[in-house]
Amino acid sequence: MALEGRTLVVECPCPGTPHEHDTVTFSPVLPMAGGLAVISAVRDAMRATDGEEMDNLVLAAHTFPVYLRFAIESWTFTDAAGHLLDRERWDALLPFGVKYAIADAADDLFGEEALSPLVGTTPASSRGGPTATSTSRSRASGSSPRSRSAPSSRAASAASEP
Ligand SMILES: [Zn+2]
């Protein structure tokens, strides 16, 4: 299974294996309802872990169904009659491994985008938690650089002029 741009190529899981492979194409952007649903799902996952370190499976349990519902634009899966599989029957007919791979790829594509509104808002549960000491994964690269040159030079010149 490989993600090529917005398209995931998977082994054909359809009845009778009529395709050489199948493809799932993700939406160009996450729909509004989908983004909010991901945020809500992550909140639920955080509540479920109660401030402990987030387990990837807990996160997946809450967010992956949301990705399957909102992040997919088109696909090539068919049913036993050869008709395009409608989304309502995905969960009943597609193997779990295929669904997991699709949601995992969606998480890679949209996870950061979906959670970007949460960056900077600190949930109360993480205050003083074990994550406070592990600062190795700093996101400082994206923050705006502080331009100190102007004020500091002004202060220095002011200090040198009595
Ligand atoms: Zn197929």
User: Which tens digits make up the pLDDT trace of 126-148?
Assistant: 444 444 444 444 444 444 444 44
DSSP code of residue 78:
B
What residues sit around ligand 1, an ion, with C-beta below 5 angstroms? Answer: 12, 14, 19, 22
Q: How far is the CA of 89 from the centre of ligand 1 (A)?
A: 14
For residues 3-12, one letter each, b for 16 or more C-beta atoms within 10 angstroms of the residue's C-beta and e for the rest, the string is beeeebebeb
Q: How far is the CA of 105 from the centre of ligand 1 (A)?
A: 18
> β-strand 2-4 against 22-26: which pairing, if any?
unpaired
Q: How far is the CA of 16 from the centre of ligand 1 (A)?
A: 8
Q: How far is the CA of 70 from the centre of ligand 1 (A)?
A: 21
pTM exceeding the 0.85 threshold for the entire prediction: no
User: Which tens digits make up the pLDDT trace of 65-116?
Assistant: 999 999 999 999 999 999 999 999 999 999 999 999 999 999 999 999 898 8
Q: How far is the CA of 63 from the centre of ligand 1 (A)?
A: 25
